[in-house]
Each structure stands twice: as structure tokens, then as C-alpha cells.
A and B are shown apart, each in its own frame.
Chain A
Amino acid sequence: MRSVARWALVVAVVSVGLAGCAPEVTRRPTQMTAVTEQPAGTIEVMHDASVRVGPGYTRTIPHGSLWTSIGRVTEGEVFKPVDRVFTVEGTHVHEAYLVLDGNRVVGFYLPVERAFAPMEGRAETRLSIQRRQR
């Protein structure tokens, strides 16, 4: 019994330690073309959606959240959150915007790094969205 407890402690300590060793968010440089239309298009997310934002990290895109289209990258349309923040996480934490192809989340645009981070994993995430008038 004592050895089980000892192993449990070892596993817990190693797990806590490894939490600080997550790999960095996979990303590649990209160039965003800014939206010129005013006012820019906005979408409202109609249902909560969970997305993988890095190795071992997830975020919830909450229902009712608003996102404004600010431009395009090769992979899709870039949406910036309205009155809220969104980040992706690996070794470090980066502010991020959503990149959608239609209603499918294809990845994230990192404004500081000017990079595109593709969605983690093979699962496809589609958002239930409502587009608001431009």
C-alpha cells in the first residue's frame, strides 16, 4: 500500500513538472490582408465550442461571443474577439484571433508573431455562427 502511495506521489510530481515543459504552439509566418470594408463583418457564436489551442490545452469559444472580421490569411478569414480576449498556449501564451474557413475553425492568427497556428489534432470543429450585417 505504501509503495502504491509512493508511486502515486512520483507520478503526481512528474506530472506537475511536465506541465511546465509543454511544446511550443506550432505556427508558421503568414501575411494578413486587412479588411477595407467598413463597417467590418461580425459573427456571433450561437453555441459553446471547445477548441484545442496547443499541445494539451483547450479553450471554449462561448455562445454569445462576438468576433469581427479584420482580414484574411491564406488559410481563411481572421476574426478578432470583441470585448474579450483569446489566447493559444504551449510553452508560452500568445494572444490569438480565430481563422475560419466558412464556419470551420482552421486555426489561429497570432498578431504579435504575425503567424498562423493550425488547429491541433485531426478533429474538425465547426462553429454555429450567425453573421451580422456589414
Chain B
Amino acid sequence: MRMSRVLFAAFLVVLAFTGCASGPKYAEVRPTLASPAPSQGRIIFYRPSALGAAVQPDIKLNGQKVGTAKPHGFYFVDRAPGNYEVTAATETEKKLTFTLEPRQERFVRLKIQMGLMVGRIVPELVDRSEAESELKDLAYIPDPLK
């Protein structure tokens, strides 16, 4: 009986971390990343939590897929200045709207929130200082569309 409990606990831990991003950490990658072109801004997406790891919806920027909500991972896209809308298609869709200026960096946290049946991803606009403290141990996803 006790053994089965241990196995169940191990199963839950494995399940929680299945599908987490792996790769070089933000702190290692950051200095090597080229700045965006002067006429562009950068949007960095990250998901700090492994909770609800099985929920990995597509992340769309102005309706175009830019990646998925991979736990413990981050990626970025460079875009022209303008208005942007981030959506994550889960049980319910919560949009985030924000502006992007030239050379500006925007940090979008993909937060898991438990819904009625399954978890959903809520995109949040985050201050640089808060984002960088959460990002430092997250893994870089160089090709988020793969």
C-alpha cells in the first residue's frame, strides 16, 4: 500500500515536469542575444510555472502563432512598433493588449490559472525587474514554432 503511494507520488512528479522546456538558461543566453533592430521592439514570452504542464496552448500575437506556453521556458519575437494583442486558446480566452515602441522590450508572463475543467493560460504584461527575476532560471526556446 505504501509502495503504491510512493509510485503515485513519483508519477505525479514526472507528470508535472513532462514537457518542460530544456536548454540554456536566460542568464547564460541574455548576453549573447543581439538587440532588436533600431526600428523594432522585442516581446519576450515566458512561463515560469510547471503547474498544469500538460496545458500548452498556442500563443498568438495579433492572430499569428508565435509559439506555445511551454513550462519553464521563454522565447521572443521582434516586431515593428504598434499595437499588439496576445491570446492563448484554452478553456476560455483572455486577451492582453499593449503597445510596442522602437527598441522597447515587453515581457509577457504566461500564467496558469485553474478553470472548471482544465487549466487556462492568462497572458500578463510584467515589469522588467519582476520578469528578469523570474526568467533567470528558465530555458531558452530558440525555435518556438517547432
Give B127's nearest chain A residue, CB to CB. Answer: A84
Q: What separation, in Å, do the CA atoms of A95 and B125 have in the docked complex?
A: 8
Give B123's nearest chain A residue, CB to CB. Answer: A93
Q: Which of A15-23, A99-107, A118-126 contacts B (4 or more CB under 8 A)?
A: A15-23
Give A95's nearest chain B residue, CB to CB. Answer: B98
Count of A-B residue pairs with CB < 8 Å:
56
Interface contact B114-A16, CB-CB below 8 Å: yes
Tell me if A30 is interfacial: C-beta within 8 Å of chain B: no
Residues of the B chain whose Cβ atoms lie less than 8 Å from the Cβ of A85: 98, 125-127
Interface contact B120-A20, CB-CB below 8 Å: yes
Number of interface residues of B (CB under 8 A): 23
By size class, the interface of chain A is 10 to 19
Give A94's nearest chain B residue, CB to CB. Answer: B97
How far in angstroms is the closest Cβ of chain B from A12? 10
Residues of the B chain whose Cβ atoms lie less than 8 Å from the Cβ of A87: 96, 98, 124-125
Interface contact B116-A112, CB-CB below 8 Å: no
Tell me if A64 is interfacial: C-beta within 8 Å of chain B: no
B 45-79 binary contact with A (CB < 8 Å = 1; else 0) = 00000000000000000000000000000000000
Interface contact B97-A113, CB-CB below 8 Å: yes
Residues of the B chain whose Cβ atoms lie less than 8 Å from the Cβ of A13: 116
How far in angstroms is the closest Cβ of chain B from A77? 19
Residues of the A chain whose Cβ atoms lie less than 8 Å from the Cβ of B122: 93
Please provide the chain B residues from 74 to 107 with a CB less than 8 Å away from any CB of chain A in the complex. 83-85, 91-92, 94-99
How far in angstroms is the closest Cβ of chain B from A58? 15
Tell me if A130 is interfacial: C-beta within 8 Å of chain B: no
Residues of the A chain whose Cβ atoms lie less than 8 Å from the Cβ of B98: 85, 87, 94-95, 112
Enumerate 11 A-B pairs (CB-CB under 8 Å) in ascending A order: A16-B115, A20-B92, A20-B120, A85-B127, A87-B98, A91-B94, A93-B96, A93-B97, A95-B99, A95-B125, A111-B83
